[in-house]
Amino acid sequence: MPAGPSFEAIREAHARIAPHIHRTPVFRCRSLDERAGAQLFFKCENLQRTGSFKLRGATNVIFSLPEDAAPRGVVTHSSGNHGAAIAYAARRRGIPAWIVVPRNSPEVKRQAIADFGGEVVTCEPTMEARDAAAREILERTGATMVHPYDNDGVIAAQGTATVELIEDAGPMDIVLAPVSGGGLLSGTAIAAQSLLPGIHVVGCEPAGADDAWRSLRSGQIEKNVKVDTIADGLRASLSERTFAILRERIDQIVLIREDEILDAMRLVWERMKLIIEPSSAVTVAAALLGKIDIAGRHVGVILSGGNVDLGKYFDFR
């Protein structure tokens, strides 16, 4: 049996979350098509409520909680987007949410969590510190852990973005999605290959956080000893669950340099008038910089989020 949630679970998740999320648009850009030599279809999760695709997974899990467990609330750890999504979805269900956030996360993301009603708990920027802080809260409150990606309910709901992309834009030859912990890419692959057998699914990853690329090459999970990327949403490592899905389904992972991430961010802003964060820019860079053969093809590009302080990356004076 294939690893991960079924396509039926993705359909069920889509029905569950539909009243609480935006069905985000699919945008085109003639100048970027010309540059890529392909037809690009941008799934704009940067325009999602809370500013990223993470709302899909968070909403699915929180609205699946049993009535006896929900009042105790939820806990997660997050560099920002998943935390904001958990806080938002928890507020819609009327339950508390505790979000463990690395101290080096962008202030715009921490503020969003607080604005949506989540309680922010800061920790050192390591997975060990995140896990320890989350465990302490769980033991103290009896809340439910909602992992950012190591959860079938989260993975299933992340795949709903690709369902919408294909329903709204038609068949694709290739779909590109960022990879960090692997939840979005796993859900993307299951949804895309269920709807379009033979489609190529490509993960896009910063060269400074290349654990997924190395893991698929070696056949075992490889951790990052050091992470060095401005794509703060792509600093996590694969879980056993997501690694098993990606090993079965992904055609390749391409690596994107830091300067390529910045160039892609600015290009989308200038040509499409869309604000995307660095984690979104890896897919754009892969499509535009010859990282893969897309000539003449229909290519789905997942823009995963748009929560960014532009002044941090560009001097507009």
* Domains of the chain, residue spans: 7-52+152-312, 55-145
Assigned CATH for 7-52+152-312: 3.40.50.1100
Contact 155, 12 (CB under 8 A): no
- Rounded Cα–Cα distance for residues 302 and 176 (Å): 6
Cα–Cα distance measured from residue 167 to residue 11, given in angstroms and rounded to the nearest whole number: 13
- Catalytic residue of the set 54, 78, 109, 215: 54
Q: Which of 4-13, 125-134, 178-187, 278-287 has the lowest mean pLDDT?
A: 125-134
What is the tens place of the pLDDT at every residue in 114-142? 999 999 999 998 878 988 999 999 999 99
Beta bridge partners of 176: 202, 301
Is 280 a known active-site residue? no
What's the pLDDT tens digit per position in 89-112?
Answer: 999 999 999 999 988 877 777 888
Is the predicted pLDDT of residue 316 greater than 60, yes or no?
Answer: no
Please give the DSSP secondary-structure letter assigned to residue 52.
B
Cα separation, 24 vs 302, whole angstroms: 11
3-state SS class at 9? helix
Judging by DSSP bridges, how do beta strands 119-123 and 252-256 pair with one another? unpaired
Clarify whether 79 is annotated catalytic. yes
Q: Which of 43, 52, 78, 79 is catalytic?
A: 79
Report domain 55-145's class: alpha beta
Q: How far apart are CA 264 and CA 286, in angstroms?
A: 9
Please report which confidence band the pLDDT of residue 235 belongs to, taking 50, 70 and 90 as the band edges.
Answer: confident
Distance (Å, whole) CA 1 – CA 92: 35
